[in-house]
Amino acid sequence: MANILVTGANGQLGSEIRELSSSDTETYFFTDRETLDITNKAKVKSFIEDNSIDTIINCAAYTAVDRAEEDQTSADVVNHQAVKNLAQIAKENNIKLIHVSTDYVFNGQNFRPYVETDPTDPQGVYGETKLAGEKALQATNPKNSIIIRTSWVYSSYGANFLKTMLRLGKERDELGVIFDQVGTPTYARDLAETILEILPKVANEQVEVYHYSNEGICSWYDFAKAIFELSNIKCNVKPIETKEYPTPATRPHYSLLNKAKIKREYSIAIPYWRESLVECLQIMGERQ
């Protein structure tokens, strides 16, 4: 029976893992920055030894993309230095490690879905620090460790695009949403299920990188339209260009990820994004 540490446990992905693991036979330790500071290597090492941890799922991240442009130090500490700590501890203690990364490691200018071996070229501090974390993990190279890049994550937990649209759609008659950024929404519950499913199968000498999002393609505009349609919200959605909604950080215009590798190597099925959106909205309705 495994003793599994889940960092960033109060975020979208960590919360979904917590819910899904409630009926699991493994022992889980869910931590956030208040209960375990992963930027403090000594504290992490002590926690791992005290609780006989043999598996780490790192969901912790500095995800405030715009704020990171002015707070590079904080972003780097969490997205890079903390990952380096976990990698070193995993190697020293022969611990399995799953680390979650992002499509922001790419420049968003591709013309086909990104594969794991495509050149990285982050366009902002968030992507740069997440890539630095990936490289630190790969350089340390603990056995039985993988990186999963994902994109456009939403959930019934936490703050995300879905919840923002539901709130604004009820407050306004019309809303402008960006149409020239395309990708695939990722339901955090689907990613959590995949992580728990593949966890026992992870066995590799070198760090492997995988891509995961839901299937299909849409723009943020399409995503918003689907949210309102499925929620019966009467709000007119107007397509706008990225330049009409300037932000401190550059967003990728193209975030499609090729999932062939993870599907092939772990024999998993990935749901279509709209079907997962329906499921998430149903769960949110049941909790009201």
In this structure, which amino acid lies at residue 10? N
Name the residue with tokens 């930027």: 39
Structure tokens at 245: 């909604």
Q: In this structure, are residues 249 and 108 in contact, taking their beta carbons and an 8 Å threshold?
A: no
In this structure, which amino acid lies at residue 164? T
The 3-state DSSP class for residue 254 equals strand
d(CA 210, CA 199): 13
Q: What is the DSSP letter of 47?
A: H
Let me know if 126 is a catalytic residue. yes
Structure tokens at 173: 């008659």
d(CA 149, CA 116): 9
Q: In this structure, are residues 108 and 122 in contact, taking their beta carbons and an 8 Å threshold?
A: no
Q: From the candidates 126, 154, 212, 221, which is the catalytic residue?
A: 126
Name the residue with tokens 């926690």: 47
Query: In this structure, what is the dihedral angle of CA atoms 219, 198, 195, 87, given to the nearest 10 degrees?
Result: -110
Q: 281: how many CB neighbours lie within 10 A of its CB?
A: 17
Which residue spans within 164-286 are E strands per DSSP? Answer: 174-178, 182-183, 186-187, 208-211, 218-219, 236-240
Nearest alpha carbon to residue 133 among 36, 7, 42: 7
Which amino acids are annotated catalytic? 126
